[in-house]
Structure 1
Amino acid sequence: MNGTVDGLIRTLDLEKVEENLYRGTSPRSGWQRIFGGQVIAQALVAAQRTVPAERPVHSLHGYFMRPGDPKVPVVYEVKRIRDGGSFTTRIVIAIQHGEAIFTLSASFQKHEEGLDHQVSMPDVPRPDELPHGAALNERILSEAPEPVRRYWERPRPIEFRPVSFDHYLTQKKLAPRQDVWVRAVGEVGDDPALNAAILAYLSDMTLLDTSLFAHGLSVFDARIQAASLDHAMWFHRPVRVGEWHLYTQDSPSSSGGRGLTRGALFSLDGALVASVAQEGLIRPRRAASA
Structure 2
Amino acid sequence: MTSIDDLYQVLHLNQIEALRFEGISKTVGSPNVFGGQVLAQALNAAYRSINNGRILHSMHSYFLEAGDLNLPITYDVGVMRDGSSFSVRRVTASQNDKLIFILSASFHKKEDGYSHQMDMKQEVKPPETLLSWDDMLEQFGDTLPLKTKTFLEIPRPVSFKPTQITNPFEKKDLPPYMDVWFKVKGDASAYDLATKQQILTYISDYNILAVALHRHASKAHWGNTQTASLDHSMWYYRDFDFNDWMLFSMDTPNTSNARGFARGNIYTRDGVLVASVTQEGLMRPLK
TM-score by length of 2: 0.93
Distance verdict in 2 for CA 1:53–1:186, change over 3 Å: farther
Distance verdict in 2 for CA 1:27–1:217, change over 3 Å: farther
Distance verdict in 2 for CA 1:269–1:285, change over 3 Å: same
Q: How do residues 223-238 of structure 1 correspond to structure 2 at under 5 angstroms?
A: 223-238=224-239
1:46 aligns with 45
Hey, which bits of structure 1, 4+ residues long, moved more than 6 A?
none
Distance verdict in 2 for CA 1:218–1:38, change over 3 Å: farther
Task: Give identity over the alignment, percent.
Answer: 39
Deviation at 1:184, TM superposition (A): 1.0
Q: Aligned pair count?
A: 285
Letter in 2 for 1:239: F
User: Partners of 1:6 and 1:218 in 2: how far apart?
Assistant: 40
Deviation at 1:166, TM superposition (A): 1.6
Aligned partners of 1:82 and 1:89 also within 8 Å:
yes
Q: Which moved more, 1:77-86 or 1:210-219?
A: 210-219
User: Partners of 1:117 and 1:20 in 2: how far apart?
Assistant: 37
The gaps in structure 1 that reach 5 residues or longer are: none
User: Partners of 1:3 and 1:12 in 2: how far apart?
Assistant: 14
Aligned partners of 2:2 and 2:185 also within 8 Å:
no
Deviation at 1:7, TM superposition (A): 1.8
Distance verdict in 2 for CA 1:32–1:131, change over 3 Å: closer
C-alpha distance after superposition, 1:190-217 (max 9, x if no partner)? 3111100000000000011100011016
C-alpha distance after superposition, 1:68-88 (max 9, x if no partner)? 111111000000000011110
Matched, 1:281 2:282: yes
User: Partners of 1:223 and 1:203 in 2: how far apart?
Assistant: 24
Q: How do residues 146-165 of structure 1 correspond to structure 2 at under 5 angstroms?
A: 146-165=146-165
User: Partners of 2:247 and 2:134 in 1: how far apart?
Assistant: 22
User: Partners of 1:202 and 1:131 in 2: how far apart?
Assistant: 18
Give me the CA root mean square deviation.
2.0
User: Partners of 2:149 and 2:157 in 1: how far apart?
Assistant: 17
1:202 aligns with 203
Matched, 1:21 2:20: yes
Deviation at 1:239, TM superposition (A): 2.4
Matched, 1:122 2:117: no
Letter in 1 for 2:66: P
3-state SS, counterpart of residue 283 of structure 2:
strand
C-alpha distance after superposition, 1:45-94 (max 9, x if no partner)? 00000013621100000000000111111000000000011110000000
3-state SS, counterpart of residue 238 of structure 1:
coil
Letter in 2 for 1:145: P
User: Partners of 1:171 and 1:54 in 2: how far apart?
Assistant: 51
Q: Which moved more, 1:243-252 or 1:138-147?
A: 138-147
Deviation at 1:176, TM superposition (A): 1.6
Letter in 2 for 1:199: L
User: Partners of 2:149 and 2:79 in 1: how far apart?
Assistant: 44
Aligned partners of 2:11 and 2:23 also within 8 Å:
yes
Q: Which moved more, 1:170-179 or 1:198-207?
A: 170-179
Distance verdict in 2 for CA 1:30–1:179, change over 3 Å: closer
2:59 aligns with 60
Deviation at 1:30, TM superposition (A): 6.7
Distance verdict in 2 for CA 1:34–1:133, change over 3 Å: closer
Aligned partners of 1:160 and 1:182 also within 8 Å:
yes
User: Partners of 1:66 and 1:134 in 2: how far apart?
Assistant: 31
Q: Which moved more, 1:139-148 or 1:257-266?
A: 139-148
User: Partners of 1:135 and 1:18 in 2: how far apart?
Assistant: 44
User: Partners of 1:181 and 1:58 in 2: how far apart?
Assistant: 23
User: Partners of 1:130 and 1:67 in 2: how far apart?
Assistant: 34
User: Partners of 2:30 and 2:268 in 1: how far apart?
Assistant: 31
Aligned partners of 2:28 and 2:34 also within 8 Å:
no
User: Partners of 2:207 and 2:236 in 1: how far apart?
Assistant: 19
Deviation at 1:244, TM superposition (A): 1.1
User: Partners of 1:30 and 1:127 in 2: how far apart?
Assistant: 24
3-state SS, counterpart of residue 78 of structure 1:
strand
Deviation at 1:131, TM superposition (A): 2.2
Aligned partners of 1:210 and 1:261 also within 8 Å:
yes
The gaps in structure 2 that reach 5 residues or longer are: none
C-alpha distance after superposition, 1:159-203 (max 9, x if no partner)? 100001126452211112100001111123231111000000000
